[in-house]
Structure 1
Amino acid sequence: MGLLVGDGIGHEIVPATRGVVDTAVAAAGEAPIDWVTLPIGLDAIAEHGTPIPDVTLDALAGLDGWVLGPHDSAAYPEEFRGLLTPGGTIRKRFDLFANVRPAQAFSGVRAVVPDMDLVIVRENTEGFYADRNMHTGSGEFMPTPDVALAVAVFTRRACERIAQTACDLAARRRGRVTVVHKANVLTLTTGLFRDVCVEVAEGFPGVRVDTEHVDAMAAHLVRRGGDFDVVVTENMFGDILSDLAGELSGSLGTAPSLNASHTQAMAQAAHGAAPDIAGRNRANPTALMLSAAMLLDWLAARQGRDGLARAAGRIRRAIEQTLAAGVATADLGGLASTAEFTETVGARILRR
């Protein structure tokens, strides 16, 4: 399994996550994880002259899954700031088309929507994010100094595969998919997305499907976020709604994320590198730990390794119990350091 530390608090939360995963895998009776540490971000610039060197990309090509720490592109030298971020480069190179972002409220963590338990499934390769729509170039251009344009791309293939992912997930959860679009205005583009998702859902007789405009959906998440199960939407809408849902359920500090194709997956927390607290033993590793648990589940399903699924369950239960007991980092109103929180989670993983 790949391990990319990244920048900022990555130097604290990535080792913490590795330790928790190793503890859970051992407790579940699985063979130890063979970690492959790879350079990325500022460390890679210092060593290789680029934030995402070929040696890293070449190694990832031979791995089924990896854990990616946060990156701080704003701190990179000027020559790298206008380029695709390391995470974006990886997603594009390996066609990680599904960005799966759960938003769950935890006992012990104050939440605006305390009954929220949903998953936003975000199409991750096209839509309104121009940097993901071109073989060459960014998809943004300026025909004159006073006019800026961006290309949005929607293809049936991309809509079908993200809808399939959402429906597969809903069939294992509570059986409901909500398709989010803006077809009343963006009739052809998000209209295609909506229609294809509804068509795919017809192949899942146990899954109920409904549709919502994105602006209405934002309001619904605030007013009745506990009513939703799986939400599927295009790239930019999914980015915005998943951050909103993460905060409504408690904090982005508890919001995990998995980027996946049919053959590879990357665990990546939804939050950033938080350079203001980096190196101070204050960072919250919860989101990355939960992301790693998602990766273990993904690997278990594809490799038939039930022990990895048991390890993922141990991680989730230990985090839930730790937060419910009031052990939390400062961003959640607690007093625990990164190390103290990690130690507590590790101890709970070992409990029967």
Structure 2
Amino acid sequence: MKKITLIPGDGIGYEISDSLVKIFEAAKVPVEFETENAGLDVYEKTGELIPESLYESIERNKIAIKGPITTPIGKGFRSINVYLRKKYDLYTNFRPSRNLPGIETRYNNIDLAIFRENTEGIYIGEEKYENEEKTSAVAVKRITRKGSKRIIKSAFEYAKNNGISKVTVVHKANILKFTDGMFLDIAREISKEYENIELEELIIDNMCMQLVTNPERFKVIVTMNLYGDILSDLVAGLVGGLGVAPGANIGDNIAIFEAVHGSAPDIAGQNKANPLALLLSSIEMLKYLKLDDFAKNIEKAILKTLTDGCKTADLGGNITTTEFTDKIIKNLK
């Protein structure tokens, strides 16, 4: 029985986490959840944003799944999510996106994955004012060979293992010749190791245009931290929004799967929350754990539920979180 750290988060995190637990129990998934929390609620109760017990749980179990976490403004870390990624060197941010039945979008054949470098780039948070008057400021963008090689390798391995014949690397090397230039050069080096996979190179601004004109042609995208952050949300918008966007932060020894949307405090506790993002993230977690049969069973039940027209209000439906969860359970094999 594999133990998994469950981090409910804030706001609707409690409701969608409860949905996840009920579905896993009904599907008889051989895991045990160990609940620890972080964020605004924990801070207000204990004065700590991340309690030591959460670190201990993650380090003991090596795998976690979390709901949306709110970082209090002006308190502690700039972002709890960014802090956990850096602390555990979760260098791969994996964001798959695809069309789901019953969710209308402008496009019909999107099925792609974005690999975003998760620990470097401009999100290292090294900023300073250049003068006492604070009229000018600079931020450091750090790109390393090590960081670039491992995220690009992850993207190519995913393509190889899933029979995908092209990887698209996104950059701004025409302007940022040292940082983005290094990333692009490394992508070219690594691509030589994969004879049957084409490397496509696109500048970030062109990539944005391509994604809103012909997104169906992309399957695997790999890029740096800031670009990946922006593109991941853009692509989520193409398939229905952050409410249907799974996410994972994966390192060599620890992985944290997550719902990437906000905590939605305006609807918290009202049984309106859409648990799909967390549920889809849990499917990726089961694949990571090599529990593929359980992943397929839950995935099929979700797709059947959506095909039957069962949706929460944010997706144009009218059923509650509880009803949506019960429908999925009913559709399990």
TM-score, normalisation: structure 2 = 0.95
Distance (Å, rounded) in 1 between the aligned partners of 2:19 and 2:230: 28
Mapping of 1:192-231 within 5 angstroms? Answer: 192-231=182-221
Is 2:9 aligned against 1:6?
A: yes
Deviation by residue 1:176-233 (Cα, 9 ceiling, x = unmatched): 1000001111111111111112211211222221110111111111111111110000
Residue 289 (structure 1) aligns with:
279
Deviation by residue 1:71-107 (Cα, 9 ceiling, x = unmatched): 122xx36433xx2322222111110000000110112
Is 2:132 aligned against 1:142?
A: no
Deviation by residue 1:234-256 (Cα, 9 ceiling, x = unmatched): 00100100100001112211110
State the AA in 1 paired with 2:75. Answer: E
Residue 66 (structure 1) aligns with:
64
Residue 23 (structure 1) aligns with:
26
Pick from 135, 144, 155: which aligns with 1:155?
144
State the AA in 2 paired with 1:333. Answer: G
Residues 130, 150 of structure 1: 8 Å contact kept: no
Is 2:255 aligned against 1:265?
A: yes
State the AA in 1 paired with 2:310. Answer: V
Pick from 104, 113, 118: which aligns with 1:110?
104
Deviates more, 1:58-67 or 1:240-249: 58-67
Distance (Å, rounded) in 1 between the aligned partners of 2:135 and 2:315: 44
Q: CA RMSD in A?
A: 1.4
State the AA in 2 paired with 1:63. Answer: N
Is 2:120 aligned against 1:126?
A: yes
Deviation by residue 1:283-331 (Cα, 9 ceiling, x = unmatched): 110011010110111121xxxxxxx111111122211121121111111
TM-score, normalisation: structure 1 = 0.90
Residues 282, 337 of structure 1: 8 Å contact kept: yes
Distance (Å, rounded) in 1 between the aligned partners of 2:286 and 2:309: 26
- Post-superposition shift, 1:20? 1.7
Distance (Å, rounded) in 1 between the aligned partners of 2:140 and 2:25: 44
Deviates more, 1:84-93 or 1:272-281: 84-93
Residue 45 (structure 1) aligns with:
43
Residue 305 (structure 1) aligns with:
none
Residue 295 (structure 2) aligns with:
312
Sequence identity, in percent?
37
Deviates more, 1:112-121 or 1:55-64: 55-64
Q: SS of the counterpart of 1:62?
A: helix
State the AA in 2 paired with 1:337. Answer: T
Deviation by residue 1:48-80 (Cα, 9 ceiling, x = unmatched): 31111222112211112111110122xx36433
Is 2:322 aligned against 1:333?
A: no
Q: SS of the counterpart of 1:211?
A: strand
Pick from 176, 187, 198: which aligns with 2:177?
187
Residue 136 (structure 1) aligns with:
none
Residues 1:125 and 1:35: Cα distance change in structure 2 (over 3 Å):
same
